[in-house]
């Protein structure tokens, strides 16, 4: 009886810990946490974003989740709903869409960089690069799918698809 009681306390504390952790996560972090569960189970990813983050995977058990994992995915989806996250990325397909606040680079391969340009399109000159793990990027304004950012002394435009709030 004592062992069963301890297991129940452990499960309850894990559930409460998960809920507390999810409540403080950004939409991107929730998306990442949810898809990490599927990635660990060999899910066959098809979207460009998921492929760039997790790779193809596609091995047995091909995304089949245990009851606990299904419950965890449901908890994450709940928090995505509470926070108003859209689709499978946590933001609209155009990426970061609000002015103000801070963001981090997301969805860029570890061996690549995010271009910073002098204006809001690829037709403008490249004036710098952000590393794939850059954080603390100040969002000054967003126009269509581009955001004017400040990162240290660098001020320019970055494609919003690769920026996520945190």
Structural domains of the chain, with CATH: 2-82 (no CATH), 102-165 (2.30.30.40)
More confident residue, 19 or 8: 19
Q: Given phi > 0 = left and psi -120 to 50 = alpha, else beta, which region is 59?
A: beta
User: How far is the C-alpha of 33 from the C-alpha of 15, rounded, in Å?
Assistant: 15
User: In this model, does residue 13 exceed pLDDT 70?
Assistant: no
More confident residue, 16 or 50: 50
Find all residues with CB under 8 Å of 131, minimum gap 6, and list them. Answer: 105, 113
Q: Contact 138/163 with Cβ under 8 angstroms?
A: no
Give the tokens for residue 139: 């969002």
More confident residue, 115 or 2: 115
User: In this model, does residue 3 exceed pLDDT 90?
Assistant: no
User: In this model, does residue 14 exceed pLDDT 80?
Assistant: no
Q: Contact 55/110 with Cβ under 8 angstroms?
A: no
Q: What are the strands, taking DSSP E only, across the chain?
A: 102-105, 114-117, 126-130, 137-143, 146-151, 154-159, 163-165
Mean pLDDT estimate for the chain = 78
Mean local confidence (pLDDT), 95-118: 82
Give the tokens for residue 35: 């898809």
User: How far is the C-alpha of 109 from the C-alpha of 133, rounded, in Å?
Assistant: 9
Residue from 58, 39, 41, 50 nearest 88 by CA: 50
pLDDT band at 73 (very low <50, low <70, confident <90, very high): confident
Indicate the pTM of the whole model.
Answer: 0.45
Mean local confidence (pLDDT), 57-84: 84
């Amino acid at each position: 009886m004592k062992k069963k009681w301890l297991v129940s306390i452990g499960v309850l504390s894990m559930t409460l810990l998960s809920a507390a952790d999810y409540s403080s996560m950004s939409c991107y972090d929730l998306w990442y946490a949810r898809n990490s569960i599927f990635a660990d189970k060999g899910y066959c990813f098809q979207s460009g974003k998921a492929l760039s983050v997790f790779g193809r995977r596609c091995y047995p058990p091909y995304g089949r989740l245990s009851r606990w994992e299904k419950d965890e995915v449901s908890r994450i989806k709940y928090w995505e709903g509470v926070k108003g996250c859209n689709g499978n990325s946590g933001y609209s397909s155009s990426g970061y869409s609000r002015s103000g606040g801070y963001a981090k680079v997301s969805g860029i391969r570890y061996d690549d960089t995010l271009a910073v340009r002098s204006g809001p399109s690829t037709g403008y000159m490249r004036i710098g690069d952000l590393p794939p793990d850059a954080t603390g990027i100040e969002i000054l304004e967003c126009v269509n799918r581009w955001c004017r950012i400040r990162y240290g002394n660098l001020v320019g435009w970055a494609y919003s698809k690769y920026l996520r709030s945190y």
